[in-house]
Amino acid sequence: MPIRIGRIQRDIEAIAAFTATPGEGATRPTFSAEWRAARDYVADQLHACGCEVRIDAAANLHARPAGLSWDEPAWLSGSHVDTVPNGGDFDGVVGVVVPLELLRAAAEEGRGNLPLELAVFAEEEGTTFGLGMLGSRAWAGTTGFLALSIAHNAAGESYLRAGQPHGVRAEDIAAETVQRGRYLGMVEVHIEQGASLWRSGERVAIVDAIAGRRQYRARLQGHANHAGSTSMPDRKDALACAAELILALEALAPELSPRAVATVGEIACRPNAINVIPGEVDLSIDFRDPDNAVLDEGHRRIEALVTETAARRGVISLLDWSEALPAEALDVAICERLQAAAERIGLGPLRRAASGALHDAAILAPYIPTAMLFVASRDGISHNPAELSRFEDIAAAAEVLWELVKE
Contact 64, 99 (CB under 8 A): no
* Alpha-carbon torsion, ordered 182, 183, 189, 192, to 10 deg: 120
Least CB distance to Zn ion at residue 191 (A) = 8
Q: At what angle do helices 238-256 and 292-312 cross, to 10 degrees?
A: 150
Binding site for Zn ion (CB under 5 A): 91-92
Q: At what angle do helices 93-108 and 33-48 cross, to 10 degrees?
A: 20
Contact 323, 143 (CB under 8 A): no
Nearer to Zn ion, 45 or 127 (CB): 127
Least CB distance to Zn ion at residue 26 (A) = 11
Q: At what angle do helices 391-405 and 93-108 cross, to 10 degrees?
A: 60
Asked if residue 254 has a cis previous peptide bond (ω within 30° of 0), the answer is no
Least CB distance to Zn ion at residue 91 (A) = 4
Nearer to Zn ion, 91 or 208 (CB): 91
Nearer to Zn ion, 280 or 393 (CB): 393
Least CB distance to Zn ion at residue 83 (A) = 8
Least CB distance to Zn ion at residue 65 (A) = 25
Helix (H, G, I), strand (E, B) or coil at 237: coil
Nearer to Zn ion, 92 or 290 (CB): 92
- DSSP string spanning 181-226? GGEEEEEEEEE--SSHHHHHT--EEEEEEE-EEEEEEEEEE---EE
Nearer to Zn ion, 95 or 222 (CB): 95
Question: Which residue's Cβ has the minimum distance to Zn ion?
Answer: 92
Least CB distance to Zn ion at residue 88 (A) = 10
Burial class (CB in 10 A: 0-12, 13-18, 19+), 181: exposed
The count of residues in the chain is 407
β-partners of residue 308 are none
Least CB distance to Zn ion at residue 381 (A) = 14
Nearer to Zn ion, 331 or 387 (CB): 387
Nearer to Zn ion, 95 or 298 (CB): 95
